[in-house]
């Protein structure tokens, strides 16, 4: 079994970032050598810290919504070790969105427009962690401050340029259309297949619209009750494959594992 999990609002409480209710399962999975592969909007710098907080050091992870893939530490023979970028770098994305903003007057504020203190206010992260949240390698994060109509036009302009616009819990993320949580999962599954000779069953957990590609790419999916009112639309939402939790955040994470693996 391979477990792919979103962080904010899924394994981590959306407000406090605590994972306490999931501790028992994290330990059981570790004891059984079942990899928990974190898959988030966060930067690799943030995820290295969180991976270590959760006792998952050395495992692969997916950062920046799939634009960045960290390899397993044991795969150091891989040409892209320690991590690879799926698409154009952060600086190029920033320059593109700044051009669109000055040409068409869209109103948004990116993580690059503000300092660490403001990011701390927006996210509730400590200054240290907020600084890590700015270290994007292959995506950009912003708060949208314009109409829905303007958003549709902005998104169309991004798509035209080979980028995509992904909704997180509180923010919007822009990355190369070649990257995504789904592409990253498929790429990692192929690595496991190649290195271990068989493809393990996959279980995914997520709470936001940006987790739909994650939840569509796994054998079994847990939709953790989220704060986003638009919810998640899945391609195959049968009760055998998809479990919707009653509880939000890490309590929902535990509930999902109880459901599929047993309490
Ligand atoms: C951002 O990600 C969340 C999760 O989906 C969001 O979009 O609301 C990222 O910028 C990440 O780097 C940061 O740690 C997180 C903090 O809540 O927000
Ligand atoms: Mg989330
Ligand atoms: Mg996320």
Distance 161 CA to ligand 1 centre (A): 24
6 as an active site residue: the answer is yes
Closest approach atom of ligand 1 to CA 43: 12
Closest approach atom of ligand 1 to CA 41: 2
Asked if residue 28 lies in contact with residue 7, where contact means CB atoms within 8 angstroms, the answer is no
Q: Which residue has the tokens 């023979």?
A: 77
Distance 219 CA to ligand 1 centre (A): 26
Asked if residue 244 lies in contact with residue 205, where contact means CB atoms within 8 angstroms, the answer is no
Average pLDDT per run of 10 along the chain, which is 263 residues long? 96 96 98 97 98 97 98 95 96 98 98 97 96 98 98 98 92 96 97 92 94 96 85 91 97 98 85
For ligand 1, atom 2, which residue shows the shortest CA distance?
Answer: 41
Asked if residue 37 lies in contact with residue 5, where contact means CB atoms within 8 angstroms, the answer is yes
Q: Report residues whose beta carbon is within 6 angstroms of any ligand 1 atom.
A: 8, 41-43, 46, 123, 125, 133, 141, 168-171, 208
Query: What confidence score (pLDDT) does residue 168 get?
Result: 86
Query: What confidence score (pLDDT) does residue 229 get?
Result: 61
Closest CA to 216 of 258, 262, 257, 185: 185
ipTM confidence score: 0.93
Instruction: Give the C-alpha separation, 145 to 1, whole Å.
Output: 42
Distance 218 CA to ligand 3 centre (A): 16
Query: What confidence score (pLDDT) does residue 170 get?
Result: 87
Name the helix (H) or strand (E) containing 149: helix 148-160
Instruction: Give the C-alpha separation, 189 to 35, whole Å.
Output: 12
């Amino acid at each position: 079994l391979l477990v792919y999990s979103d962080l904010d609002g899924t394994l981590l409480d959306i407000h406090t970032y605590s994972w306490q209710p999931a501790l028992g399962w994290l330990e059981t999975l570790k004891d059984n050598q079942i990899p928990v592969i974190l898959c988030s909007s966060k930067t690799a710098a943030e995820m290295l810290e969180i991976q270590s907080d959760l006792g998952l050091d050395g495992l692969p992870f997916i950062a920046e919504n799939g634009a960045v893939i960290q390899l397993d530490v044991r795969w150091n023979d891989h040409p892209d070790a320690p991590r690879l970028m799926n698409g154009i770098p952060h600086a190029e994305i920033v320059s593109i969105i700044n051009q669109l903003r000055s040409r068409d007057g869209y109103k948004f504020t990116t993580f690059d427009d503000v300092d660490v203190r403001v990011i701390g206010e927006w996210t509730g992260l400590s200054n240290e962690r907020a600084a890590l949240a700015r270290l994007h390698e292959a995506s950009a994060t912003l708060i949208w401050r314009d109409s829905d109509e303007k958003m549709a036009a902005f998104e169309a302009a991004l798509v035209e340029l080979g980028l995509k616009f992904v909704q997180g819990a509180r923010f919007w993320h822009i990355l190369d259309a070649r990257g995504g949580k789904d592409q990253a999962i498929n790429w990692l599954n192929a690595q496991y297949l190649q290195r271990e000779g068989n493809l393990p069953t996959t279980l995914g957990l997520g709470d936001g619209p940006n987790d739909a590609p994650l939840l569509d790419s796994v054998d079994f999916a847990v939709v953790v009750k989220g704060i986003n009112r638009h919810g998640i639309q899945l391609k195959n939402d049968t009760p055998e494959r998809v479990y919707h939790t009653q509880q939000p955040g890490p309590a929902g994470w535990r509930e999902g594992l109880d459901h599929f693996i047993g309490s």
